[in-house]
Amino acid sequence: MLIALLAALLAGYLLGSLPFGAWVPAAYGVDIRRVGSGNPGATNVKRVLGRGPGNLVFGLDFGKGLLAALLGGALAGEVGIFLGAAGAVLGHVFPLFLGFRGGKGVAVTMGGLLILLPWAVLLGILGWLAGYYATRVVAVGSLVFAAVLFLVALGQWLAGGPVAGWEVLVALAVAALLTVRHRDNIGRLLRGEESSFRSRGGSSSSSPPSPHRPPRDS
């Protein structure tokens, strides 16, 4: 059983480490780590290359999280689902194939926890959409997602729903990780300096980062 659990975690990590946020731009001749914010995530890809490539990266990251959870479940049951998803998130944030410097982990979290906490994830996605479209700031949507994920899981557990106490702790840990990964964004939001997307098109409303100004990433 221990071998199966470790296999689920390792498989999830390797899947999560697949750097679609770097590979998709590379197909366009772009090293995403050298442009925009330098972050190999869907937001930076969308800001640099447009909506199509950015949405493709988001979908691929979501998919690898979901696949990792499914594979983990096949290897080690319900606990394997969690380990596969956790491994995918860790692999995305600290990818083996990108020198352990990856993205923020929002899309892969959505996919990875969809099986384990379906209502929390689905309502969290609605929260993400509401936060983003209200502000056009991706970081706001991501932080709303993290909060809703935990609060819905907690509410289900308190109401005697199909959520175990350990799953609430998983939601709390993931929400904390996503919040920490967005700590720079939070600082910029408080200062009124965070980048946003225009209401039309995929470009950022802020000017591109210059060598003399730190890049902004959502």
CB 18 within 8 A of CB 90: no
Tell me what the mean pLDDT of segment 161-180 comes to.
Answer: 95
pLDDT at position 216 = 44
> Closest by alpha carbon to 146, among 166, 162, 170?
170
Residue with more model confidence, 63 or 206: 63
In the block, tokens 């907690």 appear at 154
Q: How far apart are the C-alpha atoms of 44 and 50, rounded to whole Å?
A: 9
Neighbours of 217 (CB within 10 A): 23
Residue 169 has pLDDT above 50, yes or no: yes
Tell me what the mean pLDDT of segment 109-114 comes to.
Answer: 97
Residue 215 CA, chain-centre distance (Å), reads: 19
Residue 146 CA, chain-centre distance (Å), reads: 10
% the chain with pLDDT above 70: 90
10-61: pLDDT as tens digits: 999 999 999 999 999 999 999 999 998 889 999 999 999 999 999 999 999 9
Q: How far apart are the C-alpha atoms of 108 and 63, rounded to whole Å?
A: 7
What does the block give as tokens for 110? 């959505």
pLDDT at position 198 = 57
In the block, tokens 């330098």 appear at 38
pLDDT at position 206 = 36
CB 74 within 8 A of CB 25: no
72-95: pLDDT as tens digits: 999 999 999 999 999 999 999 999
Predicted TM-score of the model (pTM): 0.87
pLDDT at position 194 = 84
Amino acid, single-letter form, for residue 47: R
Residue with more model confidence, 195 or 192: 192
Tell me what the mean pLDDT of segment 123-128 comes to.
Answer: 98
